[in-house]
Chain A
Amino acid sequence: MRKIKLFMDTLIEIKIATWNGTAEKEAEAAAERAFEHFRKVEQACSRFNPESELMRACSIAGKPVNISPYLFGPLKFALEVANATDGRFDPTIGKAMEQHGFNQNYLTGERISTASIDSAATYRDIILDESTRSLRLKKPLIIDLGAVAKGFAIDLAAAELNGFEGYIINAGGDVYARGLERKDTPWKIGLQHPVKTAEVIEVFDISNQAVCTSGSYERKNEDNPENHHIILPETTRSPNRWVSSTVIAPSAMLADALSTACFLMEAEEADILLEAAGARGRLITPELKIVKVGGNKDDI
Chain B
Amino acid sequence: MGKMDKKWVVLCSAAVAAVYAGGFYTTEQDAVKMESAHYEFLNKQTNGQVSNPNKEKTNSLNSETINTPKQQYRDGTYTGMGMNRRGEIQVSVTLKKDKIVDVQISDWGMHYSEEDVVNLPDQVVADQSYNVENVSGATYSTEAFKNAVQDALSQAENS
Contact = CB atoms under 8 A, between A and B. Distances in A.
Contacts of B63: none
B69 interface: no
A187 B102 CA distance: 28
A277 B117 contact: no
Nearest to B12: A251
17 contacts: A6-B142, A10-B142, A11-B140, A39-B26, A40-B25, A43-B34, A76-B11, A84-B1, A108-B44, A168-B134, A189-B135, A199-B130, A211-B136, A246-B136, A250-B12, A253-B15, A277-B4
Given A6-B145, A19-B117, A107 B37 contact: yes
B137 A213 contact: yes
A196 to B, nearest CB: 11
Contact of A174 (B11, B121, B124, B136): B136
Nearest to B128: A203
A10 B9 CA distance: 25
Interface in B77-106: 85, 102-105
Interface residues of A, number: 81
A105 interface: yes
A64 interface: no
Contacts, number: 195
Nearest to B146: A106
A109 B50 contact: yes
Interface in A1-47: 1-6, 9-11, 13, 18-19, 24, 36-37, 39-40, 42-43
Given A84-B1, A84-B4, A254-B9, A182 B136 contact: no
| Main SS class of interface, A | mixed
Contact of A173 (B13, B102, B139): B139
Contact of A276 (B5, B18, B41): B5
A254 B8 contact: yes
Interface stretch (B53-61, B107-115, B151-159): B107-115
A72 B18 contact: yes
The 5 closest A-B pairs by CB, nearest first: A73-B15, A278-B5, A213-B137, A192-B137, A4-B105
Given A200-B130, A253-B15, A215 B137 contact: yes
Contacts of B134: 168, 170, 175, 177, 187-190
A144 interface: no
Contacts of B111: 1-2, 24
A3 B4 CA distance: 36
A159 B103 CA distance: 23
A103 interface: no
Contacts of B6: 278
A51 B33 contact: yes
A40 B26 contact: yes
Contacts of A13: 108
Interface string A174-208: 11010000100101111110100111100100000
B68 interface: no
B138 A172 contact: yes
A276 B3 contact: yes
Contacts of B49: 109
A81 to B, nearest CB: 8
Contacts of A188: 124, 129, 132-134
A253 B12 contact: yes
B145 A11 contact: yes
Interface in A108-148: 108-110
Interface string B6-27: 1011011111101110101110
Given A177-B134, A251-B9, A69 B34 contact: no
A120 B40 CA distance: 35
B37 A49 contact: yes
B40 to A, nearest CB: 4
B120 interface: yes
Given A250-B9, A277-B4, 5 more contacts: A37-B19, A40-B25, A108-B40, A108-B44, A192-B137
